[in-house]
Structure 1
Amino acid sequence: MPTSAPAPTDVRDTLRELRGADFAYFMGTGNAGDALINVAAMQLFSTLGLRPRFLNYRSAGVPEGGVLVCSGGGNFVSMYHNLANFVRKHHRSAKRLIVLPHSYSGHEALLRELGPNVLLMCREPRSFDYLNGLGLRAEVELSEDVALNLDPATVLRGQPLAPEDRGSVWRREAWRDRLKYAVRSAAYLRTSPRDPETGRRSLLAYRDDAERTEAPLPSNNCDASVVFSSRDGYYLPDSALRSTRALLGFLNHFDDIFTNRLHVAIAALLLGKDVHIAPNNYHKLESIYRFSLKHRFPKAHWEAADDARPD
């Protein structure tokens, strides 16, 4: 039976507890949506005066006995394993391990291993109910997706949010990423003219990965989270900022966005776009739409039927 979910905890209140602490933030891996979550977290750290060490799941030197904060997202569900593997490896030695708001399913054996030094934050009530139903020793809190804290204007202005590596490798990667994103954006925009009657331009941005549904993809589909992802998906602050800036800049060319990518939807809503949100292949999109988006964004529209997709 579902529990009566409490009012959500503001993730900023949880992070304030880290003031003065020496902690490491592990940046989520994946696509441009994960980059956007990381950038929103970086903005929160800056606003709160926090100075974490930024690492990713391939970084050496994970501090033993320290405070570890893992990015929010959708990586603690049964189809993905990198975050679960990281938690499995480090939860016993960490003084404190915080997983920022996530969706959860599967991984029951690992979840039951976790002790009271672990805080699992959920970004929607269904995941909160799932974890509470397991009777865990770890702390469980209901919050909201970290990306909802993003200030897109700051990102688009190009302001750095963390120390950057300005060496030759950084310069090569920055140049390559910017060129790649510019070419991809221009190529899609050439095939997406404005409607001659309304003057509006629409983006069809449905996912084409493990979370896609059985509905056929539109002929002019652009899976923007993949198009504007980094080369390998292992983000550090500078690559996450480049990816997020490219995604936001691309979305700003459109008036109406049709998507089942959660963070394409959130980014577009933060930019003031009309966004039509469709399901992925598990509850994530609908749960977060009903919990966080429906009442916050008047331009958010739920499109439950697969045949609602335009072509």
Structure 2
Amino acid sequence: MQPMEKGEIIMEDYPKGFSSFSEGVETSRKKLLTSIEFSPDLTFIIPGGNIGDHLIWAGTRQLLDGKPFTEVSEDEIEKANGHTAIIAGCGGWCKAYHSMPRQLSIIEKNFKKVIIFPSSFDISVPAVKDSLMKTKAMVFARELISYNQIKDICEADIAFDTAFFFHYSKYKQQGNGPLYAYRKDREKLKNEINSSVEDNNDISKTSKNLNQFLKIVAKHNTVHTDRAHVMIAGAMLDKTVYYSPSNYHKIPGIADFSLHDFPVWKKK
């Protein structure tokens, strides 16, 4: 096994009092709910994504429990309209996947207020930077690297990924053996040794639904991954997680910002 190191978190880097996981979750909950507090109607817009993204959406629904909202898929965006649009958190603001700038421009034409829920951003991608410089939306980053990139170019704040609002308790169980769940798509690191793991199961792609995804994670005791939401699910289900980065900062950023209280370790 390769040597591991704990992701290093500098506590003074936490803005606005995020001194622990529990405080971060509650502060994030308050920030996100405050951002929609006086909205007369809510539309929850779900971009495309894999099963890992379903965890973001499920956590958002649980965050919004008790608030009436309309849910809209990416195929319905052009026809959707109303007062306040919540755009689900995602990784669609990076080099490998950057459909969100185009979607944002459509959404802003049809809604008076737009809030981008916690996402990762890479402003080295021209379309991403240009979109954020023009937007009037409230933009939440889900880790410090993205936050530091966007805080001077748009109205920005930081909060935990909404997957942390999902209720995991019914899936928790004693697991056995390792799960290897490495990505095979264009966001993986090129020439990464993880791609040669023989018993790899990229559950974000192979799972039929979120229930199956979580049951697979739950039945193991260690998780090895370069998928952000496999990492998050593993940590929340009390597994030891060994993560590798994808081809940008999203995964180590989330680990350092949100998971330093958990047995989540970075592979060297």
TM-score by length of 2: 0.81
Q: Which entry has the higher C-alpha Rg, 1 or 2?
A: 1
Deviations 1:162-198 (A, max 9, x none): xxxxxxxxxxxxxxxxxxxxxxxxxxxxxxxxxxxxx
> What is the aligned counterpart of 1:220 among 187, 194, 199?
199
Provide the rounded CA distance (Å) in 1 between the counterparts of 2:180 and 2:59.
24
Q: How does 1:1-311 map to 2 (within 5 A)?
A: 6-7=15-16, 10-19=28-37, 21-46=40-65, 49-59=66-76, 62-105=79-122, 106=125, 107-115=128-136, 118-133=137-152, 135-136=153-154, 139-153=155-169, 156=171, 200-213=176-189, 214-216=191-193, 217=195, 218-228=197-207, 243-294=209-260, 296-297=261-262, 299-303=263-267, 305=268
Question: What value does the CA root-mean-square deviation take over the aligned residues?
Answer: 2.2
Quote how far apart the aligned CAs of 1:200 are.
3.6
Give the secondary-structure state (helix, strand or coil) at the position aligned to 1:221.
coil
Provide the rounded CA distance (Å) in 2 between the counterparts of 1:85 and 1:101.
18
Contact 1:31 1:228 in 2 (8 A): no
Quote how far apart the aligned CAs of 1:274 are.
1.2
Give the secondary-structure state (helix, strand or coil) at the position aligned to 1:73.
coil
Give the secondary-structure state (helix, strand or coil) at the position aligned to 1:96.
strand
Deviations 1:78-104 (A, max 9, x none): 332332211011214421100000111
Contact 2:222 2:240 in 1 (8 A): yes
Contact 1:203 1:256 in 2 (8 A): yes
Contact 2:224 2:242 in 1 (8 A): yes
Give the secondary-structure state (helix, strand or coil) at the position aligned to 2:117.
strand
**Distance change (3 Å), C-alpha of 1:18 and 1:62:** farther
Provide the rounded CA distance (Å) in 1 between the counterparts of 2:95 and 2:192.
22
Give the secondary-structure state (helix, strand or coil) at the position aligned to 2:256.
helix
Letter in 1 for 2:192: A
Provide the rounded CA distance (Å) in 2 between the counterparts of 1:5 and 1:77.
23
Contact 1:40 1:146 in 2 (8 A): yes
Letter in 2 for 1:153: S
- The number of residue pairs the alignment matches comes to 237
Quote how far apart the aligned CAs of 1:292 are.
0.9
TM-score by length of 1: 0.70
Between stretches 268-277 and 106-115, larger displacement belongs to 106-115
Letter in 1 for 2:68: R
Give the secondary-structure state (helix, strand or coil) at the position aligned to 1:66.
strand
Deviations 1:270-310 (A, max 9, x none): 1111111111111111111111112x21x21121x2xxxxx
Contact 1:5 1:128 in 2 (8 A): no
Question: Which stretches in structure 1 are left out of the alignment for 5+ residues?
Answer: 158-198, 230-242, 306-311
Provide the rounded CA distance (Å) in 2 between the counterparts of 1:268 and 1:206.
13
Identity of counterpart residues, as a percentage?
25
Contact 1:28 1:38 in 2 (8 A): no
Contact 2:226 2:244 in 1 (8 A): yes
Contact 2:180 2:225 in 1 (8 A): yes
